[in-house]
């Protein structure tokens, strides 16, 4: 699975903002933390604001803050704002029945993979992902110590 850059940036932004819903961050704050393009992230943030997951706070000291429901929003909810997660199978127009059957079989297999991918992403809430990240960070600190 190759996730679009916008989806990945969207996940970074939402998870970063959801980790402390009271906190406001600018696009630059988030982009610097994840070493990504501020320009691209700003466009992603506009989509997130339109979806209602993120709120834009105007004025001096403004920025963005999380406005969704952390234990109800899944990773798939965020990704689907940017892409459909359907595998793109560049299929020609088969010239025979057997070629058609091969194309159909391959389409069926990619659908199976897509369904499994979605089933995983649709059951991991932002809360679960953040808890796992914190656990992972704690383990890494413990290993480093």
Partner 1 sequence: MTDPLTIRNAILADLEAVIALDLVGLAAKETAYWREIFDRYVSAGKDDGFFLVAEANAEVIGFIVGEVRAWEFGSPPCGWVFALGVSPAVREQGVGELMFQEMCARLKRAGVAIVRTMVDRENKLTLSFFRSQGLRSGRYIELEKPLADD
Q: Give residues in contact with partner 1 (CB under 8 A).
A: 71, 74, 115-116, 119-120, 122-125, 127-128, 131-132, 135
Q: Which is nearer to partner 1, 99 or 135 (CB)?
A: 135
Q: Is 96 helix (H, G, I), strand (E, B) or coil?
A: coil
Cβ 91 to partner 1 shortest distance, Å: 25
Whole-angstrom Cα distance, residue 10 to residue 36? 11
- CB nearer to partner 1: pick between 32 and 115: 115
Least distance to partner 1 from the beta carbon of 33, Å? Answer: 25
Q: Least Å distance between CB 75 and partner 1?
A: 10
Residues facing residue 56 across a β-bridge: 64
Q: Judged by CB, which is closer to partner 1: 1, or 116?
A: 116
Question: Cα angle vertex 33, ends 32, 35, to 5°?
Answer: 60
Q: Which is nearer to partner 1, 89 or 120 (CB)?
A: 120
Q: Distances in Å between the alpha carbon of 74 and those of 14, 81, 127?
A: 11, 12, 9
CA angle (139 as vertex; 138, 143 as ends), nearest 5 = 120
Q: Identify the bridge partners of residue 65 per DSSP, sorted by sequence position.
A: 55
Q: CB of residue 74 vs partner 1: minimum separation in angstroms?
A: 8
């Amino acid at each position: 699975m190759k996730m679009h850059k916008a989806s990945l940036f969207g996940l970074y932004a939402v998870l970063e903002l959801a980790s402390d819903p009271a906190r406001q961050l600018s696009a630059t704050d988030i982009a610097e933390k994840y070493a990504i393009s501020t320009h691209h992230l700003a466009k992603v943030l506009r989509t997130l604001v339109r979806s209602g997951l993120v709120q834009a706070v105007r004025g001096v000291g403004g920025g963005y803050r999380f406005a969704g429901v952390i234990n109800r929003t899944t990773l798939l909810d965020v990704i689907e704002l940017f892409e459909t997660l359907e595998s793109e199978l560049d299929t020609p127009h088969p010239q025979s029945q057997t070629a058609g059957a091969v194309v159909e079989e391959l389409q069926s297999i990619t659908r199976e993979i897509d369904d499994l991918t979605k089933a995983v992403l649709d059951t991991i809430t932002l809360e679960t992902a953040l808890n796992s990240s914190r656990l992972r960070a704690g383990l890494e600190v413990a290993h480093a110590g």
